[in-house]
């Protein structure tokens, strides 16, 4: 809600759960499955959207976050209040069609003030059909998620201020949650393609791969573009295949290495078809394999570990992770609601990284093979660049394997 609406609610002695008519000026609402209502001002497209409500603590990169395919099925609460300050542009995207269900902000969208801005964020949201609301007490909402876990919820943006709360509450309560959902199929590529774009550089923009050194097949469970750019930047000719690609289809491209991408949903659900493929790939080849996020979870499942849903998940660009081999601490970008259970790792695996927030697993490696993965996002889009060395490690493993 707007500040004026918040003051009006306070003056009337109402709280977020009040069932009376919306406060004056309210054109949107976030309704949780337990019936809680957060009033606000609508932003972006009009309509209704449902999903799991999570929060992201990043101070930058809202456009990259909103276009990250890993957010399929989720409504994103931004804890940073100044969203929209750098506008939007056609370069800072991770996929052409955003998979996030909606967004929640503390303050109205900030007018852009950046030399790269091409569009106001609100216009960009409208163009992509993304529904959101501003004016919500995001601190209260974040505390609620932290204490009670990520709830199901519905955002309604109705410029006329009319809300059918009983119907909206029923819709929020009916949303099943991410557990058991295979969302990789909803965001993966429809067919195989080649990726040659390299990382963005000031004054140059994105480059093109000129002299490929290695052949990499990337399995697309919801791949972020900047991950593919990082691979191409190190001389990898990347062939991207759908999430449902078989081991035979992957090996048909004669790769020097295989990359397993990030993605949304429950890894156990995606693993129904992905795990047998990875197990066959591991059995029939000695190729270096590198996984990120969902790719990390699927690789772990294929090697005998188990995953579970987290209480609130990790989402932000300020997560400290410790490299257990070097003792070095990296500040990382993360987005995941499921995690690999450390106590289920078989003898063939060893943990390589750990979260300093909650001690959860952040990486594994096979002890006698060039196969490894991490839970976080080393491509730094958005986020710090502390972990770019992992791409170099993968390429070094490829080079050593070839020689």
**Annotated catalytic, 293?**
yes
Q: Is the peptide bond before 382 cis (omega within 30 degrees of 0)?
A: yes
Cα 265 to Cα 34, 96, 294, 310, 315, distances in angstroms: 22, 19, 8, 12, 14
**Annotated catalytic, 197?**
no
The angle at the Cα of 123, spanning 73 to 100, to the nearest 5 degrees, equals: 10
Residue 126 structure tokens: 């409208």
Asked if 211 contacts 372 with a C-beta cutoff of 8 angstroms, the reply is: no
**Annotated catalytic, 120?**
no
Helix (H) or strand (E) holding 133: strand 131-134
- The position carrying tokens 């990520």 is 150
Does the CA dihedral 371-377-378-379 come out positive or negative?
A: positive
Exactly one of 157, 296, 319, 377 is catalytic; name it: 377
DSSP classification of residue 184: H
Tally Cβ neighbours within 10 Å of residue 201: 10
Exactly one of 54, 293, 353, 362 is catalytic; name it: 293
Asked if 280 contacts 251 with a C-beta cutoff of 8 angstroms, the reply is: no
Which residues touch 85 (CB under 8 Å, ≥6 apart)?
110, 111, 112, 113, 114
139-148: Cβ within 8 A, 24+ apart: 139/79, 139/106, 140/16, 141/30, 141/38, 141/53, 141/55, 141/77, 141/104, 142/55, 142/77, 142/79, 144/36, 145/53, 145/54, 145/55, 145/77, 145/312, 146/312
- The catalytic residues are 293, 377, 379
């Amino acid at each position: 809600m707007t500040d004026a609406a918040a003051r009006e609610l306070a003056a009337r002695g109402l709280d977020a759960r009040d069932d009376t008519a919306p406060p004056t000026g309210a054109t949107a609402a976030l309704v949780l499955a337990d019936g809680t209502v957060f009033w606000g001002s609508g932003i972006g497209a009009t309509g209704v959207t449902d999903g799991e409500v999570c929060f992201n603590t990043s101070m930058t990169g809202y456009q990259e976050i909103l276009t990250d395919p890993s957010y399929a099925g989720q409504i994103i609460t931004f804890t940073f209040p100044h969203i929209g300050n750098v506008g939007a542009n056609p370069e800072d995207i991770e996929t052409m069609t955003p998979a996030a269900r909606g967004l929640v902000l503390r303050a109205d969208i900030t007018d852009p003030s950046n030399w790269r801005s091409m569009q106001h964020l609100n216009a960009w949201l409208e163009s992509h059909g993304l529904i959101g609301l501003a004016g919500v007490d995001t601190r209260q909402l974040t505390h609620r998620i932290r204490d009670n876990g990520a709830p199901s919820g519905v955002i309604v943006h109705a410029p006329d201020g009319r809300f059918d709360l009983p119907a909206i509450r029923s819709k929020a309560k009916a949303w099943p949650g991410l557990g058991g959902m295979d969302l990789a199929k909803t965001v993966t590529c429809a067919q195989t393609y080649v990726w040659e774009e390299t990382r963005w550089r000031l004054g140059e923009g994105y480059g093109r791969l000129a002299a490929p050194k290695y052949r990499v097949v990337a399995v697309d469970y919801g791949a972020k573009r900047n991950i593919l750019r990082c691979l191409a930047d190190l001389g990898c000719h990347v062939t991207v295949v759908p999430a449902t690609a078989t081991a035979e289809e992957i090996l048909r491209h004669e790769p020097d290495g295989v990359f397993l991408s990030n993605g949304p949903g429950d890894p156990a659900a995606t693993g129904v078809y992905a795990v047998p493929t990875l197990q066959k790939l591991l059995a029939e080849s000695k190729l270096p394999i590198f996984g990120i996020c969902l790719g990390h979870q699927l690789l772990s499942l294929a090697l005998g570990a188990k995953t579970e849903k987290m209480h609130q998940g990790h989402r932000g660009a300020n997560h400290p992770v410790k490299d257990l081999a070097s003792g070095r601490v990296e500040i990382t970008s993360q987005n995941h609601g499921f995690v690999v259970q450390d106590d289920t790792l078989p003898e063939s695996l060893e943990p390589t990284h750990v979260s300093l927030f909650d001690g959860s697993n952040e990486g594994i490696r096979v002890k006698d093979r060039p196969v490894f993965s991490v839970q976080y996002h080393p491509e730094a889009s958005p986020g710090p660049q502390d972990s770019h060395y992992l791409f170099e490690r993968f390429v070094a493993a490829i080079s050593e394997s070839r020689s």
